[in-house]
Amino acid sequence: MDEAFPLQSMRQSPKSTHSSIRLGRANEPEFADGLLRGAEEIAQFLYGRCERRRKVFHLVATSNLPVFKLGSMICARKSVLLKWVKDQEERHASDSRKQA
């Protein structure tokens, strides 16, 4: 390998250097499978109806809904939303027990 051009051997090799990222459907990385892109997808996941996207915007503005932005699009991970919902349920259950 020529030390002046260390990437030259990588260009010639047909193997990917990112073997730890497995490709899923439609050649998307595996991590993209659990990603919800946009308020409509998040609403569909949380409420079963994409028409509730305004509620998602409201939750983003007024609560700790775990979302992040890719550019101007809000996104969320399914696993993180499921954990957030579970935490909300547990918090509500413990609040109810304290009042009783």
38-47 helix and 78-99 helix, angle to the nearest 10 degrees: 50
Listed residue (36, 41, 47) closest to 80, CA to CA: 36
Q: Tokens 């809000």 belong to which residue?
A: 74
Interval 4-17 mean pLDDT: 45
pLDDT per position as a tens digit, 62-96? 988 999 999 999 999 999 999 999 999 998 887 77
Residue spans of the domains in the chain: they are 34-99
- 70's CB contacts (< 8 A; 6+ apart) are 37
Asked if residue 11 has pLDDT above 60, the reply is: no
pLDDT at 28: 57
pLDDT for residue 13 is more than 90:
no
CA 7 → CA 2, 3, 12, distances in Å?
Answer: 9, 9, 9
